[in-house]
Amino acid sequence: MLEKRADMLPYGSQWIDEDDIEAVVKVLKSDFITQGPAIADFENAVAAYVGARYAVAFCNGTAALHAACYAAGIGPGDEVVTTPITFLASSNCALYMGAKVVFADIDPHTYNIDPDEIETAITDRTKAIIAVDLTGQPAEMDRILMLAKDRGIAVIHDAAHSLGASYGGSKVGTFGDMTMFSFHPVKHVTTGEGGVIVTDDERLKTALQMFRNHGMTRDSNLLTRNGEPWYYEMQALGYNYRMTDMQAALGLSQLSKLDGFVRRRREIAARYNAAFEEMADVVLPRQHPLAESSWHLYVIRVNDRNAVFARLRDLNIGVNVHYIPIYKQPYYRGLGYRDDQCPRAEHYYETAITLPLFPKMSDGDVEDVIKAVQFAVNFNSTD
């Protein structure tokens, strides 16, 4: 029996250092802790990093996706095509706008949404495609954009997992009408909670900014009449989805470390690949030839998933499963979705295990995971 770790190793974790803490403290000592200059500084830094013209920050990634659906003009009667293997927010954002979600099955190798399945799912009511970069590997954006362009469909790129990744030599953030990045603590950089939409379209940028601030504007170029210095107008039904300056300061500090974080994630993924490639009972994550993942998650697939999962947890390896197909959720079943409608997604879900992967992991942590997987998968032959 392999000896268990003394502590539970999580599948993901933030890495906050003294520079990050100092950046937040500086804001706390300043005149603005929300709606201040740190927001624009962070937005400009994100836009510059990914090569976009504009970035609009939000209190979390879900709010950012909601805003993107609003800016894309999605509403009742529209359909939005997305993947079932993602977090709930990727499809919920369309429901928030009254649209119908249409789930397209996944590619059996990359686990991202399959462009062929998207094409089959498109109807004359399709308003948008939400393409998700599962685990940090970009979706096939060239093919998805071609499908959308020919039909006048908006593309919202859910890149919550893929900050720092690239596709066809271009950084994620330069594809689609809008791209969302998430800054939850397990993501590549964190603001605690937080999200951003990047875009090259000034009209979309303006709509996003209004939506996060109650649908309100003080911009004299947008007002319906000239007003007094205090005058503002609510021109749409928006939400309070603003990011704080404290979040933005943390994000700006974290962003300076992003390339190093991504390098470490790739190093760990390479060690896992080398350790598991000869294990016949383990399916390794396969990479698309045009994609360079930033490795938010490392997912293996095994036939006896539940037993392997339990053994790994017993050894204090904090494995997880990403994700339960969204249409299986009780709420979605209540909307009429079948709980077995995407066979590739079903097979993926029944066999997937997410291993720990985050930059703060030590080499010893990585070795603990490798030994535990080898033990757990080969348990019956070594018992």
Task: Give the whole-angstrom CA distance, residue 373 versus residue 280.
Answer: 13
Task: Give the whole-angstrom CA distance, residue 177 versus residue 203.
Answer: 11
Task: Give the whole-angstrom CA distance, residue 295 versus residue 284.
Answer: 13
Q: How far, in Å, are 45, 69, 103, 234, 356 from residue 63 at the CA level?
A: 20, 10, 21, 19, 27
Distance of CA 71 to the CA centre of its chain: 19
Neighbours of 335 (CB within 10 A): 11
Burial (CB count <10 Å: 0-12, 13-18, 19+), residue 249: buried
What are the residue numbers of the active site? Answer: 187
Helix or strand holding residue 255 (H, E): helix 245-255
Q: How far, in Å, are 87, 191, 264 from residue 15 at the CA level?
A: 23, 11, 12
Task: Give the whole-angstrom CA distance, residue 250 versus residue 285.
Answer: 32
